[in-house]
Amino acid sequence: MDDDPLRNPNLNRRKFIRWAVAGTIVVGVPVFVLKQCDLFSHQHLRPEDVLLDLCGVETVHIIGKKWIDDHPQEATASQLKQKLLQGSRINDYDQASQNDRSKHLQSRIKADFAQSNTLLTEGWVLTPTECRVAALYYLTQAQQS
């Protein structure tokens, strides 16, 4: 019998099974561990981090400035924070934990999408909640500059 794999195209089932199991373990175990650690969730991120990852800093600045220009009654950080907390049990935006703020804002964003409460800005379909988060980020960055 010839051991040259090019001349003998028969499948070595044992070798195939070993490689298939090894591949499944190499890929499956890290994914399982990361999923159990909740690292794929956005809940550990600040609300603006999701927008920054999706759109980029410049676009978030443009969206935030546009929201403020179109909604002068929400031109300050305190007004935006008050609007963002509507319908929440959180009393103070700054004193609330990052996790509580993120959960509340993510649930509002989900509700906005479910109710088709969206708008098209800078080529992105966003909710008013996301635009307010962008505006708050814009104001915060402008104050730090």
Where in the sequence is the domain holding 24, given as residue range(s)? Answer: 1-40
Greater confidence (35 vs 62) lies with 62
Q: Are residues 57 and 93 in the same domain?
A: yes
120 is written with which tokens?
Answer: 């098209």
- At 5, the pLDDT band (50, 70, 90 cuts) reads low
Q: Are residues 14 and 74 in the same domain?
A: no
Sign of the C-alpha dihedral, residues 131, 137, 140, 145? negative
Q: Are residues 123 and 64 in the same domain?
A: yes
The model's pTM: 0.68
- Collapse the DSSP code of 121 into the 3-class scheme (helix H, G, I; strand E, B; otherwise coil) and give the result: strand
1 is written with which tokens?
Answer: 């019998």
| Average pLDDT rounded to a whole number, residues 91-101 | 86
Task: Give the model confidence (pLDDT) of 107-120 as tens digits.
Answer: 999 999 999 999 99
